[in-house]
Structure 1
Amino acid sequence: MAPTTNRRALVPKDRFAYVFGGQKTQSYHDPAARGPGSHTIRTLAWNTTGQLIATGSVDRTLRIWNPERANVKYSTELRGHIAGIEKVVFNPVRDSELASCSSDGTVRFWDVRSKNCVSRLDVGGEAFTMTWSADGSVVLVGRKDDTLLPISIESLSTPLATTGTATGSMGATETSTYAALEPHPQPVQTNATIFSEHIPTPSSPELDLLVTTGEGTVKVFSYPSFTLLHTLHAHASACLSLSLSPTNRYLAVGGSDALISLWDTTDWVCRRTVSSSNGGAVRGVSWSFDGRFICGACDELGCGGNGLEIFHAETGESVYTVSTGGGSSVGIPAVAWHPLRYWLAYSITADGPGSNPGGLRIVGAAGGGL
């Protein structure tokens, strides 16, 4: 498949529904899906070029798909986890390196080209969330006991016991070591995490680390010192998910109150909130590549009954609703916009008589447009 190297032309808000709505939706069927709920895809991630998308499921299936070839024979299954996959994320600087965390208590790093697990780390508890720094030097893992565990990733000239090889975007083979650092227990329920897009420099070595809590707040820490910089009182109930826009202008926070709040990162003021007509806790949020459109995921059955709603970030207007089918029995556990074009990936799960097993869908992939 030819690499996607250029960002697409921006679509004006008032034409978005017409242009985006003209795209077809491609379905991707995994043979592991044997019945309703048996193969819920909990997590999605595109690599940096948008040539690959990873899916992780509750039945421990970890799969890499070619978005332009829906047949499962063109996908790759990565085997090793012995419990459900909670989160997958690609290395921001190596488009063929993937990290996955699982409730089996491990984090695994994969070279998806060679299909090899290049490192396996026991993180001391059930891992359910994970984020990768923009320079690829650290992965932060969140455990279900509200402990944050950093994992450092360093290039090596001499292989060590925890060393693996990964192929970079130019095809070069790099040797790295993966090491778990000091754990940081948190005093409150800790949910999603994300690093700022800042690349560390000698004059500015610390990163911003953003963490959602069960108290309805977002904590902004300085990493690696874990010094608390700001506390955002974002929602009336638990904050579950968060995502920085590609322009770094806004932070989107999804809550159990069915709202997505949009925060200006220059002054940490909430500019607006949006809410889907379907309601339900927002367990995932994703931005379009241009930072202009946003949508949220809700895994509760019924959340996807009226479709997947897309909002314009600057105005908060609902600009389009993706039809998902299935009525009140449908949930949407995960959403992820393509990094370079107006393609939208989402997972679907359904329950009840006559329900299909769900799986991965991508709006736009079938026609190759936008």
Structure 2
Amino acid sequence: MAPPRQRQSVAKERISVYMNSLRTQVYHDPLPRGVTSHGLRTIAWNPLGTLIATGAADKTLRVWNPEKNNARNSTELKGHMAGIEKVAFNPVKEAELCSVSSDGVARFWDVKTKAVINEVKGLGDAFTLAWSPDGESLLVGNKTDNIFVLSPTSSTPLASYQQPIQTNQICFCYSGNKIFLTTGEGRVKILSYPKFEPIFTTSYDSSTPFTLNGHTSSCLSIEMQPSGRYLATGGSDSILALWDTVDWHCMHTLIGMVGPVRSISFTFDGCYVVGGSDEGGNLEVSHTESGDTVYTIKTSGACPIVAWHPTRYSLAYIDLDQLKIMDIYPERR
């Protein structure tokens, strides 16, 4: 399958006009009788942007064709015994998906055949996952702050690392040799991978690991800009911080959000960033270099989960328990 055509970047001065021209499509997943909500918790694009997966508290795991918004054109993957907490596609395989659930199981799926190609049990109340850039391993964290190193081809964890403090989310640098862990203290730990050892120390004490300190309360979300120049972190203090990855200075502090910053996503070119929260309303798109808010996406309610398309200015988000995508294929109008 040929990848979608990548669009050119849109300048800051033109982004508002451009985004005003986009449409929003709602993806309809009917509720069973007597059920009032699926409880959507997670969304993820595949590497080509040709599929998008959603996971929900009611155990519904669905993979959508973004060009078709009816559930009968989607693929439902069944097997988890509890709510789906996180989904993510292998970054180098367009049809390999991993899902983790509070049932303590990580499942690896071939979404074309609906087959479970591997599963790892006994992970506890798992709620987060992050693939390494080469797709050869991934990290799964649970609510007792244990992080497991998994392989998509092994039925048992390769290793596990108990964290001494609350650990909320994980992401990799693009070389795959560093990981970033957000903590309940509001800090971000920078560790080597796969050894899980501190990489930097403070200037005043070589025995003290260096951490990013930019939040006044728990740090909940984290995302690396596609170029690797910035690292974005979001906290329960409603702050979205942008860090320079050379000197690790906080370059911008975005304070326009309401409620905890549950998710963060950059556009494919890294020019724009948006955060999601389960409080407040609307989504604020900010220019990465300046930190300025450049566009407001009107929503029906709070949007906790956001994800830009990997090659286009198309934003997927959860709004009032529905998947919505803002202009998935604009050239096909």
Superposed pair shares fold, TM > 0.5:
yes
Deviations 1:131-173 (A, max 9, x none): 00000111100000011111024xxxxxxxxxxxxxxxxxxxx
* Alignment partner of 1:262 out of 242, 252, 259: 242
Change (3 A) 1:362 1:103: same
Taking the aligned partners of 1:141 and 1:21, their CA distance within structure 2 comes to 38
Q: Deviations over 1:217-249 (max 9, x none)?
A: 000000111111231112111100000000010
Unaligned runs of 5+ in 1: 154-175, 200-206, 350-357
Q: Report if aligned partners of 1:24, 1:366 keep a CA contact under 8 Å in 2.
A: no
Match of 2:319 in 1: 348
What's the secondary structure of 1:180's corresponding residue?
coil
Q: Which AA in structure 1 matches 2:324?
A: R
Matched position secondary structure for 1:14: coil
**Is contact 1:308–1:323 with CA below 8 Å preserved after alignment?**
yes
Identity of aligned residues (%): 47
RMSD (CA atoms): 1.7
2:204 matched residue in structure 1: none
Pairing 1:296–2:259 present: no
Could you list the per-position Cα deviations for residues 88-117 of structure 1 after superposition, in whole angstroms to 9, with x for gaps in the alignment?
000011110000000111100000011111
The answer on 1:107 being equivalent to 2:78 is no
Deviation at 1:32, TM superposition (A): 3.0
The match for 1:273 is 253
> What's 1:163 paired with?
none
Aligned to 1:365: 328
- 1:178 & 1:54 partners in 2: Cα distance? 23
Q: Does 1:308 align with 2:283?
A: yes
User: Structure 2 residue aligned with 1:250, among 224, 227, 230?
Assistant: 230
Gap runs ≥5 in structure 2: 200-209
Amino acid at match of 1:225: K
Pairwise CA distance, 1:332: 1.1
2:16 is paired with a residue whose SS is helix
Secondary structure of 2:15's match?
helix
Question: Relative to structure 1, is the Cα distance of residues 18 and 40 closer, same or farther in structure 2, using a 3 angstrom cutoff?
Answer: same
Q: Work out whether 1:215 is the aligned partner of 2:192.
A: no
**What SS does the aligned partner of 1:227 have?**
coil
Contact 2:261 2:304 survives alignment (8 Å): no
Residue identity in the other structure for 1:125? G
| TM-score, normalised by the number of residues in structure 2 | 0.93
Report what 1:190 is aligned to: 167
Contact 1:123 1:180 in 2 (8 A): no
The 5 A counterparts of 1:78-157 are: 78-153=77-152
Aligned positions, number = 323
Distance 2:63 2:34 in 1: 21
Distance in 1 between the 2:33 and 2:297 partners?
A: 25
**What TM-score results when the alignment is normalised by the length of structure 1?**
0.84
Question: How do 1:67-86 residues align onto structure 2 when only pairs under 5 Å count?
Answer: 67-86=66-85
> Is the aligned partner of 1:339 residue 2:310?
yes
Mapped partners of 2:274, 2:34: distance in 1: 27
Q: Which SS does the other structure have where 2:14 is aligned?
A: helix
Indicate conservation of the 8 Å contact 2:121/2:156, yes or no.
no
Displacement after TM superposition at 1:20 (Å): 1.2
Summarize the Cα distance change of 1:126–1:77 in structure 2 as closer, same or farther, 3 Å threshold: same
Aligned residue type for 2:109: W
Equivalent residue for 1:170? Answer: none
Alignment-mate amino acid for residue 197 of structure 1: Y
The Cα of 1:37 is off from its aligned counterpart by 6.0
